[in-house]
Every structure is written in C-alpha cells, then in structure tokens.
Structure 1
Amino acid sequence: MSSPDLIETLDGGVLRLTIDRPERRNAMSTAVVEGLTRAITEAGQGGAVRAIVITGNGEQAFCSGADLQSGQSFQFDYSRPQLGFANLLRAAHASHVPLIARVNGACMAGGMGLLAMCDMAVAAPHAQFGLPEVRVGVFPAQVLAVLQSLIPPRVLNQMCLTGRPIGAEQALALGLINAIDASDAALDALLADLLAVSGVAQRRGLYTLKTARSMPFEQAMAFTESQIALFAQTEDAREGQAAFREKRKPVWTGR
C-alpha cells in the first residue's frame, strides 16, 4: 500500500519502509506519519513480517523531521487528545516485530524520534544527528519519550538546548546506533541474523524487553519469571532445544 510519500516493499519476510521525499530532505508529511503507523501496526498482526527497515530515499537525509516548508507542521487539532506523530511512536512501542533504522543521511528533529523508536540502527559515515527545534522556537517534546533512555542526560540536554548536531562517530560511542555502515551488505548481514533465529522468541522477547524496561527490580523479576515459563511452552523452544541436542539446524515454525 505504498503512498506518494512512502514506498513499501515486502520481500523474504522483510518489510522496507522508505520515506520518499528527497526534495524535502525526507521531511515527514501527514501521509508519511499515517503510512508508517499503519504499516507497523499491520505488520504485527501476523507472522509473515520478521523485520521492518525504515530509511529515507537518497543519500542526503534519513528524515529531517516535520515539514517546515508546509507551514502546517506545528498546527494541531487541539480537540484530539492524541496526535499523529505520538501515535506513530505508540505503534512502534507496541510492535513485537524488530524495527531497524537505516540512517542514510541527516537525522534531525522528528527523524530522531524515528531512529529512537527502532530497536536497532545502522548509519552511513556522513550521517548527522540533531535536535534543532530550539532554532525555530519549539522543542523536541514528543521525541524525548523515546530518546531520553538512549542518550546520557548531559548530552541530551546539550543537543536539545543548543540545537547543535553530532556525527556518526559520537552517535556510535553513545550507543545511539549499532554500527557505522548502512551499506546493502551490512544491512543484509544483520537481517540474515534476525531471520535465522526463532520468530516467536523474537516477538515474545520484544514484548518482554519493552515491558520489563520500565519496571522496578522486584516487579521485573516477577514478570520475567512468568515469561520464561511461557517461552518454554512454544513449539520453537522445543524445536530449538531438540536441534541443539541432535546437532542440527532448527526448523522454526514461528509458533
């Protein structure tokens, strides 16, 4: 269901979502936000999609955030308690399909939200990461919900309050990205690793990771105790252990 602003392709269990607005540095239009939200939500409704890759068209920008040229970027319907971009972040948080950001260029403002909502990220060497909202009189408010757990507070404060960006090397050192290599070969290798393991373990694993992350220690222990018991009841868990004992490659069913 590709739209004029978002290209969607599904191949071999990998859903690729490409923001197709290179003339606007892949700034997010309403169609982009709604398309990403729908695609991520629908991908989690079955077992066919094993991974989602989000990127931008071209080599200049991954996503530059809201489309300031439109003049509509910070105009909201205040009668609605939930906003479009926030709903996209909610959809990503609720997703149990691994999300990968392929940062092919500038990653700014709301683009940092797209990056942070993903489970893993790779970046091109020339990629820049920034929160320049203060330079146009606003602030990266919604982005903080997904970004503040990834960047040390002092660094995040500086990025938010000065609008000054960081490069790929610093992003890697901070743990904001997994690798400085957004080539096809590097991405294919990462996807091969994801597709080689149990899909059900990944889905239940992401649910466990995201749920336990915000819990205090004793609550997290009680929750994960119940989860490991459920992991063990799946067909993939039985198959994986049998394959280990029999020294063969497992045949995953995703159940």
Structure 2
Amino acid sequence: MTESVDSTQNDVLVERKGAVQWITINREARRNALNANVIQRIDDAIVSAQADGQVRAIVITGAGDKAFCAGADLAKGVKGFAFDVDFSRPKHYIVQLFKRLQECTLPVIARVNGHTMAGGFGLLCACDMAVAADDIRIGTTESKIGLTPMMILPYMLRILPPRRLQEMCITGEQFSAQDALDWGVVNYVVPRAQLDEKLNWLLARVVDKSPTAIRLGKQAFNATRDMGLREALEYAQAMVPVMSSTEDAKEGLLAFQEKRAPDFSGN
C-alpha cells in the first residue's frame, strides 16, 4: 500500500512505499531542475525518513522519463537561483543538502530515470547506490555557459576516475549510461522497461538487513575514506567492540546459531 506522507508542495512528492521513502522531484516541465525550495523539500524528506523508525531506505528519482535531474534551474528570475549567495548564512542550500546526504543514516538509492546533468549529476554521485535506465545521458555541462561544476566537484572526485572527470568538466560533453556503469557512477544499467524491477530487486536486498549495521557501516565508510591507512585501521579496531555490542549484532549471531531469520530492531 502506498501512503502519501506530504503532498502540500507538488514540486517534490514524498511517499512511503512499505519500508522505503520515495522522494520524487516533480518538475517534469523544467526537467526536474533544482531550486532552493526543491532542495529544502528533499532535505526535509530525508530528515523525516530518518526520524521514522519504520523506514529502511530512501529512493530519489525524477518525474517522467526524460530527466532524473537537469541540475540548477537557470531560468531568469527564478526564486532560489543556484548562484545567489546569502552572506548571512554559512551554508549554500546545495551544500546543505550534500552534507545531509553525507550524514544520512539510511541507504539512499538513485532511480535514474532520465538524463542527469550538472547539479543533478552531483545529486546522483551523493547517493549511496544507483540504478539507471540504459538510454540516459550524463554530464557536467557548466563549461558551456562559462562555469565549472564547483559545488558538486568534491563528490564527483570521490566517484569518477580523475581523467574522465577532467574530460567531463572541461568539454561539457554528455556520456552514456554504459559510461556511467564503467566508471562506477551507477551500480546497474538496465533497459528502461526493467528499471523498477531492478530497483525493487536491489531494495529487497537492503531493507531486510540490520539498520544498525547499515548505520554504523555508512559512518565507517565515510570516515575511513578521508583517513590514511594507519588512521583507518585504528578507527576500525576501535569500532569493532562498538559494533558487536549492539542489539542487532547479538540478534544476528543468535539467529545464525539457531538457523533462523534474524528479527532486527535497529538498536
């Protein structure tokens, strides 16, 4: 059963589908472009998903089948224009969203249903996993309008091979879904008709796992990625007793010994 959580603002649709919170950028006419309101709504939806003890994963996608997200809305006079800076606030709203995704304790999966450009490509890179239709195009097109993808660069540097990223940023050219798969940007590429089937296949392998293990695992992944090897090994050693002392770890071990499916509480 699908339960609508919040339909007060149509630019972003937030729905609960079982244990999964779906966040859909609903601006098909604008190719699901981002503005301040859209990003705030995505941010709020992530916060609400984490606060709901029944949610086990988040899906981010775009409305229609043309675009996942075309990046910032560059229309003249648009409210919440991407390059407006409020010097009284320490964080730009795009940076705020990326930090929220970095700190999110739930797995976030991008359902890449269409072309993914500029800031939309950054949003894709900020998700934990991605399933894409085989006819999409990806790119950072900012150089074509005299810009460089500055705010999404930190995430892209973590995902893409450096020379491919340089080519993408300098030329502004678009690349294929197969390129995205080859470069590790997405986990799976499937024919468009099979997109939701593959997404559901992946979700089924996520939502039955320990929320505590996922939460601690994401924390460790993000922390150790920024460390040197010696520091990372010390961190891992310190985290082992923390991890093994959780209720989920105890239940998982007991279930293994009793040869039954575990009943994880998320504690």
Q: 1:195 aligns with which of 194, 200, 207?
A: 207
Q: State the Cα deviation string for residues 174-211 of structure 1 (Å, max 9, x = none).
A: 11100003622111111110012111111111111111
Q: 2:247 aligns with which of 218, 226, 235?
A: 235
> In structure 2, the residue corresponding to 1:148 is in which secondary structure?
helix
User: Do structure 1's residue 5 and structure 2's residue 29 form an aligned pair?
Assistant: no
Q: Which residue of 1 aligns with 2:100?
A: 91
Q: 2:68 aligns with which of 59, 62, 65?
A: 62
Q: Which residue of 2 aligns with 1:178?
A: 187
Aligned residues of 2:116 and 2:136 also touching (Cα < 8 A): yes
> In structure 1, the residue corresponding to 2:231 is in which secondary structure?
helix
The 1-side partners of 2:88 and 2:146 are apart by 23
Q: Provide structure 1 residue ranges, at least 5 long, that are not aligned to the other structure.
A: none
> In structure 2, the residue corresponding to 1:81 is in which secondary structure?
coil
> In structure 1, the residue corresponding to 2:21 is in which secondary structure?
strand
Q: Which residue of 2 aligns with 1:38?
A: 44
Could you tell me which amino acid in structure 1 is paired with residue 198 of structure 2?
A
Matching of residues 105-254 of structure 1 within 5 Å: 105-181=114-190, 183-254=195-266
How many residues are matched?
255
The 2-side partners of 1:227 and 1:70 are apart by 50
Could you tell me which amino acid in structure 1 is paired with residue 170 of structure 2?
L
Runs (4+) off by over 6 Å? none
Q: 2:53 aligns with which of 47, 55, 58?
A: 47
Distance 1:47 1:208, change over 3 A: farther
After TM superposition, give the deviation of residue 76 of structure 1 in Å: 2.1
Q: State the Cα deviation string for residues 139-188 of structure 1 (Å, max 9, x = none).
A: 10010111111101110001001100110011101111000036221111
The 2-side partners of 1:217 and 1:59 are apart by 43
Q: State the Cα deviation string for residues 36-64 of structure 1 (Å, max 9, x = none).
A: 11211332235322100000000000000
Aligned residues of 2:59 and 2:109 also touching (Cα < 8 A): yes
% identical equivalent positions: 40
After TM superposition, give the deviation of residue 218 of structure 1 in Å: 1.3
Could you tell me which amino acid in structure 2 is paired with residue 55 of structure 1?
T
The 2-side partners of 1:76 and 1:151 are apart by 28
The 1-side partners of 2:127 and 2:241 are apart by 27
Aligned residues of 1:27 and 1:66 also touching (Cα < 8 A): yes
Matching of residues 14-29 of structure 1 within 5 Å: 14-29=20-35
The 1-side partners of 2:225 and 2:134 are apart by 30
Aligned residues of 1:5 and 1:29 also touching (Cα < 8 A): no
Normalising by structure 1, we get a TM-score of 0.96
After TM superposition, give the deviation of residue 29 of structure 1 in Å: 2.1
Q: Provide structure 2 residue ranges, at least 5 long, that are not aligned to the other structure.
A: 1-5
Q: State the Cα deviation string for residues 206-253 of structure 1 (Å, max 9, x = none).
A: 111111110111111111111111110111111111111121111111
The 1-side partners of 2:248 and 2:176 are apart by 41
Q: Which residue of 2 aligns with 1:103?
A: 112
> In structure 2, the residue corresponding to 1:219 is in which secondary structure?
helix
After TM superposition, give the deviation of residue 125 of structure 1 in Å: 0.7
> In structure 1, the residue corresponding to 2:58 is in which secondary structure?
strand
> In structure 2, the residue corresponding to 1:196 is in which secondary structure?
coil
Could you tell me which amino acid in structure 1 is paired with residue 232 of structure 2?
A
